Chains A and B, each alone.
Chain A
Amino acid sequence: MQARFSVDSGDFTKAGSASSAIKRMLKQLGVKPAVVKRVVVALFEAEVNVIAHSYGGFIQCDISPEKVNLLVQDTGPGIPDLDLAMTEGWSTATDAVREMGYGAGMGLPNMKKNADSLQISTAAGKHTEIRMSFSLKEGEDGVS
C-alpha cells in the first residue's frame, strides 16, 4: 500500500495533515499504537522540517505487512553540515517558525530515536532526502 502527499513550504496551517492522514491509515490497518506513535512522531518532525526549512517537497509512505517505509524529499536548499544539524539544540529556525511552537533543534535527533533506521542524503545546494523504516514484526519494534 502506498500513499503520497505534497508538502508546501511555509504553510503551517496544513502542518501535520499528511502525518495525520498516515496515522489514520496505520490505525485502520491495525498497527500497534506504540509503533503508530513512533512512525507518526518521526514523520511529523520531517513534515514540519520540509515546511519550515525547505522549498517544499513530498512524503511517500509504503506499508507492507513487515514494515513501514517513509520517504520525505524536498527540493532544497539542503543541509550544509548534517552532523551539526543532528546535534540536539542546533537550529536555524526563524522567529516565525518559533512562534508556531517549533525550532528547538530537536527534530532530527527525535527522528533517529523513533525510527528503526534513518538515512539522510543532503548537501548544501542539493535537495534533502530522508528515508525511515519501522518494523511491524512482533518483537522487532524496539526503540533505539
Chain B
Amino acid sequence: MKINQIVEAVKGKVACCQENLDKEVRFGFASDLMSDVLTLRDDDILLITGLSNIQAIRTAELSDISVVLLVRNKTASKEMVDMAREAGIVLITTEYSMFRTSGILYEKGLPPIY
C-alpha cells in the first residue's frame, strides 16, 4: 500500500519527509511496545503507535521502519520530527484511535505481520 493512500485513509497529517509519500509498505504493525517492534524480521513495515516520544522514532530508524503513524492526535515533538527527518522516516499523525486506524488499514488490504 502506498504511503499517501494511508495518509488519505486515516485523514492523517504528514509531519515530515513528504518526498517519500509514494513509497510502499507491505505490512502494518500496531504497538506501543518498542521491545515488541524490535523483534520484527520483515521489511517495509508501517508502525502504528500511540507512543509519542523519540524512542518510537529511534526504534523505527534502527529497525529499518520508514513510516510511523502516530494515533489519537498525539503531537510529534520537534525532537521527534528532527530525528525522523534525519532518518528519512515519514511521520504521520491522525486523530483516529489505534483500533480505528488499524481497522481501516486492515480493511483496505494492508496485511498484518502476525
On A, residues with C-beta under 8 Å from B are 12-13, 15-16, 19-20, 23, 33, 37, 40-41, 44-45, 100-107, 110, 113, 143
Contacts and interface: CB of A to CB of B under 8 A. Distances in A.
Given A15-B55, A101-B56, A107 B35 contact: yes
B54 interface: yes
Contact of B62 (A12, A20, A102, A103): A20
A43 to B, nearest CB: 8
B7 to A, nearest CB: 24
Interface of B: 32-36, 38-39, 41, 51, 53-56, 58-59, 61-64
A20 B83 CA distance: 11
B55 A41 contact: no
B55 A101 contact: yes
11 contacts: A15-B58, A16-B58, A16-B62, A44-B62, A45-B38, A101-B34, A101-B55, A101-B59, A102-B55, A105-B35, A110-B39
A106 B39 contact: yes
A101 B62 contact: no
Contact of B64 (A15, A19, A33, A104): A33
Nearest to A110: B39
Contacts of A106: 35-36, 38-39
B62 A40 contact: yes
Given A13-B54, A41-B63, A102-B34, 13 more contacts: A16-B61, A19-B62, A44-B59, A100-B34, A101-B33, A101-B59, A106-B36, A106-B39, A107-B35, A107-B38, A110-B38, A110-B39, A113-B39
